[in-house]
Amino acid sequence: MLHKISYGRLVYLIVTQVILVLPVWFGNYAKIVIASD
């Protein structure tokens, strides 16, 4: 039971980090595309 809780918390942390990082990554990618275009 404890392992499941810690695993769920780990997944939650990864998901929240991805959600926070994705807009920044897409923003940088858009800048590169605009600059090369």
How many structural domains comprise the chain?
1
pLDDT given for residue 16 in this prediction: 96
pLDDT given for residue 22 in this prediction: 93
> Which tens digit of pLDDT belongs to each residue from 1-37?
566 778 889 999 999 999 999 999 889 988 888 888 7
Structure tokens at 7: 């695993």
pLDDT given for residue 17 in this prediction: 96
* Its pTM surpasses 0.85: no
Q: Which domain holds residue 24?
A: 1-36
What one-character DSSP code corresponds to residue 27?
A: H
CA distance 15 to 34: 28
